[in-house]
Structure 1
């Protein structure tokens, strides 16, 4: 992946300010991109743009090809003539601003939007309707997505394996009858995705005009309770009775005696191979339509994955199995005309084989400064050990404490190990880590927006292994000097020739 020495900010669209409920693909995103451009910031990084699970996580989505309907901008829909006279009712019920994302409110808003879009669809001109129909015909994933989402609604949000058998096993005749009786509902789901696609294309065009690269993210595994697994069961480790045969996770290590049990079904790689990895290639292609480059989460599983028996409650009894990473990357590289715009999330215990896979395909890896200062001079995250430019350096990611939170939790011995690197040890701020990262050789340095504002862990986006207060943090223009922080960041980037 080739681009100039650069700087970026990590901020998920849900966290964008100046919109009710959560950020959107409308004016909030346009204002954000213009603020980055004004300060010379060249990269906007965000998390997967897919619909989240019931806990708000975009890494366990019910549909890995779809956009999160929370991001649909109501004001742009009104401007473009898609909501008709429903605006007054919609605005009065949905003009609620808060500094946290409320998933219940977000879902209620989507339900209203979907209904209003369908109500007003017959009044659209024929050319608009034809444009929509052409778009739908090109989206191979859309039919399964919309059927799945509507069946979830009609079955009280139960997972698909608890639906009536005729729907759980996708009986063709039954599904055909159901589709005939639910055309209006399916139109609503399709319209949501079409409008999201339109609005995001507009954001992509603006970013390109401003010279800003969009940096996306794709999870390695998909949720068992997803349109992906429901419509492609043979590609996943699912038994005929819908139980999971092997599930995903990582083995026990220094941080966890029992390992991490994620619970997603692992891939049946032999089935993927038989189709020349078509599903994987389409998935990556779909994401690369939306961004300039893409972080592949849990990259190490492309070399080998930890397979855990399906009924186990911990990850202890898993074992390593090989993955066809080289075949997949070779095919994706061909699909991308010889240039792989992928970033390897290569954090954790990485073997030499994983490093070879990353390096042989010239993928950029990741370095986290919060992991660096443990007293070990060979620590690969230490700034002086980042010896070439083929890295992206972070203060921390969405899964880490904020840098201010990290410092407050650190014991005194470790603080002493970093003392000589700091300009003001007694009054530590996140800017100390930002400065250190900016000065490295890495081609790209990225900081979460929380660190630009020197916020503590009350602003943390996600704490792995917990379910409370995750994925809800938002930027606010009340009491946060957003423009000032971005300008300061841009000035530091310029000083470091980024």
Structure 2
């Protein structure tokens, strides 16, 4: 539950100052927390920490993983401080622009550093922290690391274009690839360990300074994601494992043709039969990372807009009932004290308002909108 009335600032990690081309979990983040504390703030709101990919314009709202963390947010300075790198390993640092992130250059640089850190790690004695992390997060990390390794192995191809036995996750084929790609899988687990190590320390520092972190759960995941590959039953796919409908919003004052997001749409009846297990896991993961969290596009739990796959615009979509109160009853039983903020912008229907009132979820009001007519 949200127990403290207070103010805070929305600032994503990527926007923090950095020598390395992108904001990270390093010294600038700690300085920002100190600034919040001096200003008597209570909250630091961030955008999703999920991995990004250039094909999705580096948006964390269309991520290849709903559970993993973005390796670009790992701090080189902290890798040196904690003995995973030597200071000389950071050189040469490219001449990154100060005012914006050039993702391609940052990705190349960070991949070089993380590969170097992994080599050092592989040559050292086993580390108990890494082993404990791998064992404790295997429920999402095993599939994520395998997916990343397979993406590399198949040169970035979308998973639907992988060999049929891998695409369909046939047990023997998956076992063979786990053994064949064991080192790349271990490297990805190590990278996620580093991200978790640094984020956990920063989160603890926030707690010590009286700052709560408001995280963010994107409503949808990307089609080319470990979430859909490993759990095809959670979204609406045809017999060839291709989306039958995709997400978006209808035409409005901002767009005459609507917004065609392109994410696969959840199969809510199937999820209901499974006790919403994938979503329960996702909320549990968010509870590990944040003090409270915003759920993106909250309206979709009341009713959501789906567009036939293959349409060029969102004009021919239809509204479909979402899971409604049944979904949140399951979450409330599983997480009695979970605290969310509903992203309820746009048309706030009676069904949406009913969910907000029934579960006492705070919504959002945008200050900019307060100065228009009416």
Indicate conservation of the 8 Å contact 2:259/2:313, yes or no: yes
Matched residue SS, 1:262: strand
Tell me the CA shift for residue 203 of structure 1. 0.7
Question: 1:260: how far off?
Answer: 1.3
Distance 1:172 1:98 in 2: 48
Is contact 1:41–1:212 with CA below 8 Å preserved after alignment? yes
- The alignment's TM-score, normalised by the length of structure 1, stands at 0.72
Tell me the equivalent position of 1:138. 136
Q: State the match for 1:110 in structure 2.
A: 110
> Is the CA contact 2:89–2:113 (under 8 Å) kept in the aligned structure 1?
no
The structural deviation recorded for 1:343 is 0.4
Counterpart-to-counterpart distance in 1, 2:183 and 2:61: 29
1:252–1:109 distance in 2 versus 1, CA, 3 Å:
same
Deviates more, 1:1-10 or 1:21-30: 1-10
Larger RCO of the pair (alpha carbons < 8 Å, separation 6+): 1
Equivalenced residue count is 371
Distance in 1 (CA, whole Å) between partners of 2:349 and 2:22 is 40
Q: In 1, Cα distance between the equivalents of 2:61 and 2:318? A: 23
* 1:260-409 matches, cutoff 5 A: 260-336=259-335, 338-376=336-374
Q: Which stretch shows the higher mean deviation, 192-201 or 71-80?
A: 71-80
Contact 2:52 2:63 in 1 (8 A): yes
Q: Distance in 1 between matches of 2:29 and 2:149?
A: 29
Partner of 1:17: 17
Going from structure 1 to structure 2, the CA distance change for 1:36 and 1:313 (only over 3 Å counts) comes to same
Distance change in 2, residues 1:97/1:256 (3 Å): closer
Deviations along 1:237-290, one digit per CA (max 9) or x if unpaired, are 112213211111112223322221111111111221122111001101101211
Q: Tell me the SS of whatever aligns to 1:247.
A: strand
Q: CA deviation at 1:317?
A: 1.7
Moved more, 264-273 or 103-112: 103-112
Within the alignment, does 1:238 sit opposite 2:237 as a pair?
yes
Q: Return the offset for 1:95.
A: 7.1
Q: Which moved more, 1:115-124 or 1:235-244?
A: 115-124
Match of 1:59 among 44, 58, 61: 61
Alignment of 1:103-182 (within 5 A): 103-126=103-126, 128=127, 130-139=128-137, 140-182=139-181
How big is the shift at 1:96? 4.2
In structure 2, the partner of 1:82 is: 84
Partner in structure 1 of residue 71 of structure 2: 69
User: In the alignment, which residue of structure 1 is the partner of 2:2?
Assistant: 2
Conserved 8 A contact 2:340-2:361: yes
CA contact 2:20–2:93 (8 Å) conserved in 1: no
Unaligned runs of 5+ residues in structure 2 are: none
1:431 matched to which residue of 2?
none
Question: Is 2:208 the counterpart of 1:204?
Answer: no
Contact preservation (8 Å) 1:117, 1:191: no
Query: Which position in structure 2 is the counterpart of 1:215?
Result: 214
- For residues 205 and 255 of structure 1, what CA distance do their matches in structure 2 show? 41
- The whole-number CA distance in structure 2 between the counterparts of 1:106 and 1:229 is 27
Counterparts of 2:152 and 2:106, CA distance in 1: 15
Contact persistence 1:235–1:271 (CA under 8 A): yes
Q: Is the 8 A contact 2:243 2:264 kept in 1?
A: yes
Tell me the TM-score normalized by structure 2.
0.94
Indicate the SS of the match to 2:246.
strand
**CA apart distance, 1:174:** 2.0
Aligned-residue CA RMSD in angstroms? 1.7
Task: Give the Cα–Cα distance (whole angstroms) in 2 for the partners of residues 122 and 339 of structure 1.
Answer: 41
Q: Give CA deviations for 1:433-457 in whole Å, capped at 9, x if unaligned.
A: xxxxxxxxxxxxxxxxxxxxxxxxx
What are structure 1's unaligned runs of at least 5 residues? Answer: 377-498
Q: Which moved more, 1:20-29 or 1:201-210?
A: 20-29
Q: Secondary structure of 2:253's match?
A: coil
**Native 8 Å contact 2:96 2:102 kept in 1:** no
State the shift of 1:77 in Å: 1.6
Q: Which has the larger radius of gyration?
A: 1
CA distance in 2, matches of 1:80, 1:97: 27
The offset of 1:9, in angstroms, is: 0.9
